[in-house]
Amino acid sequence: MRASRLRATRNALRLVPVIACVGLASALITLAAEKADVGNLVPQDVAVTPHPINFSSKQPDQRQFGKLTFLSEVVLTSASDYFGGYSGLVLDAKGERFLTISDSGSWLTGRLDYSDGKVAAVRDARIGAIPQKDGQPLKRIDRDAEALVSLAPGALEGHYLIGFEQRHRIDEYAYENGELRGPVDERALPEQLKGMKPNLGIEGVAILRGGPFAGGMVAFAEEKLTADGNHTGALVVDGKSQPLFLKRHEDYDITDVQSLEDGSLVVLERSFNEETRRLGIRLRRIPAAEVKPGAVLAGETLLDAGPEFEIDNFEGLAVHKSAAGETILTLISDDNFSAFQRTLLLQFKLQ
């Protein structure tokens, strides 16, 4: 299907609540289209429109889900053929300006406008290709960006770490004057994460904002399992990489991880069962005291949601504080450039 026809089909179907239909859940993972080719993409303005939905379509007035309070959920659509595949997300201190990266090798930035605490509009959106050192778009094998974390949380301008799959690496970029520039530096791949499978590589990179290892980097693979079935990660402090593990629950894989101000971690996980065709997402909070070399992290479950809710392939997680000092979690989904998936932006308040 030509790109323009595919885009029109996707925009029409994204507004249909297919996620709630278990019979169509298999389409979320299996019917992905070819990723957009960003080889000729130059930074440009783009229109992005949010369409509000309820996290629980069966109980639209429900606000409490696990240990989270629902704030807002929207379907994001755009006529741009480059829009989609979002796997990492950062918001500024006010939760307004955002930067997100796509596994097609592009970035998207803009401003969220709120009304009554809900996302009402997306302003000043721009899209561009993640560059290589010569300023040109990354080569195809290098484009699979999966993790994004700010090195100076609060201000959108500044330096970021981006974790990539396929050719596994963690590179440092700078967001300046409305564009992503770099890479300006690279981080050594933690020894514990070497040998990852091409499409099951780095999905979560976090910088600890507090706790005994403040300033250290935590990185996890999507699915690199130990002999006893736990997820493999690494804690990097002062350039020294040490093992870190996350207890695996059922068939959930890691799709992102971010740090709270006290050094606790919030882990985003996704499950898709081929036999039952069930899609699920889970959020876990890991206390800062548990995060130490060699630890098997477990934490507490904040949210466990299946296809009865308005979910999709959530892969990006951002954390910011509201004006009232409340911790806000924002999730974004990777639509796999599929006509049967959507780019969802979902916000909760953490109790």
3-state secondary structure string across the chain: CCHHHHHHHHHHHCCCCHHHCHHHCCHHHHCCCCCCCCCCCCCEECCCEEEECCCCCCCCCCCEECCEEEEEEEEEECCCCCCCCEEEEEECCCCCEEEEEECCCEEEEEEEEEECCEEEEEEEEEEEECECCCCCECCHHHCCEEEEEECCCCCCCEEEEEEECCCCEEEEEEEECCEEEEEEEEECCCHHHCCCCCCCCEEEEEECCCCCCCCCEEEEEEEEECCCCCEEEEEEECCEEEEEEECCCCCCEEEEEEECCCCCEEEEEEEEECCCCEEEEEEEEECHHHCCCCCEECCEEEEEECCCCCCCCEEEEEEEECCCCCEEEEEEECCCCCCCCCEEEEEEEEC
Least confident of 94-108, 242-256, 267-281, 327-341: 267-281
pLDDT bin (cut points 50, 70, 90) of residue 199 is: confident
pLDDT bin (cut points 50, 70, 90) of residue 275 is: confident
What does the pLDDT average to over 179-184? 96
> Is the CB of residue 279 less than 8 Å from the CB of residue 19?
yes
Note the pLDDT of residue 11: 55
> Is the CB of residue 313 less than 8 Å from the CB of residue 270?
yes
Report the Cα–Cα distance between both ends of the chain, in Å, rounded: 46
Q: What is the C-alpha to C-alpha distance for residues 249 and 247, in angstroms, rounded to an integer?
A: 6
Whether the pLDDT of residue 33 is over 90: the answer is no
Whether the pLDDT of residue 18 is over 60: the answer is no
Domain of residue 187 covers: 3-350
Q: What is the pLDDT of residues 157-176, one digit of tens each?
A: 999 999 999 999 999 999 99
Distances (CA, A) of 20 to 57, 251, 279, 341: 8, 20, 10, 12
Q: Tell me which residue of 129, 124, 127 sits closest to 145, measured CA to CA.
A: 129
Instruction: Using only the alpha carbons of the chain, give its radius of gyration.
Output: 19
Q: Which residue has the higher pLDDT, 199 or 229?
A: 229
pLDDT bin (cut points 50, 70, 90) of residue 138 is: very high
Tell me the CATH number at 132: 2.115.10
Q: What is the pLDDT of residues 49-70, one digit of tens each?
A: 999 999 998 999 999 999 999 9
Note the pLDDT of residue 21: 37
Whether the pLDDT of residue 27 is over 60: the answer is no
Whether the pLDDT of residue 257 is over 50: the answer is yes
What does the pLDDT average to over 86-113? 98
Whether the pLDDT of residue 25 is over 50: the answer is no
Q: Tell me which residue of 62, 32, 55 sits closest to 334, measured CA to CA.
A: 32
Note the pLDDT of residue 277: 76
Report residue 87 as tokens. 């796997």
Q: For the chain, how many structural domains are there in total?
A: 1
Q: What is the mean pLDDT of the chain?
A: 91
Distances (CA, A) of 116 to 7, 54, 119, 185, 224: 31, 15, 9, 41, 42
Note the pLDDT of residue 4: 39
Whether the pLDDT of residue 260 is over 80: the answer is yes
Whether the pLDDT of residue 30 is over 90: the answer is no
Note the pLDDT of residue 278: 87
Whether the pLDDT of residue 291 is over 60: the answer is yes
Q: What is the pLDDT of residues 301-331, one digit of tens each?
A: 999 999 999 999 999 999 999 989 999 999 9
What does the pLDDT average to over 133-140? 96
Counting residues of the chain whose pLDDT is more than 70, the rounded percentage is 91
Distances (CA, A) of 165 to 143, 185, 296: 8, 17, 24
Q: Which residue has the higher pLDDT, 255 or 18?
A: 255
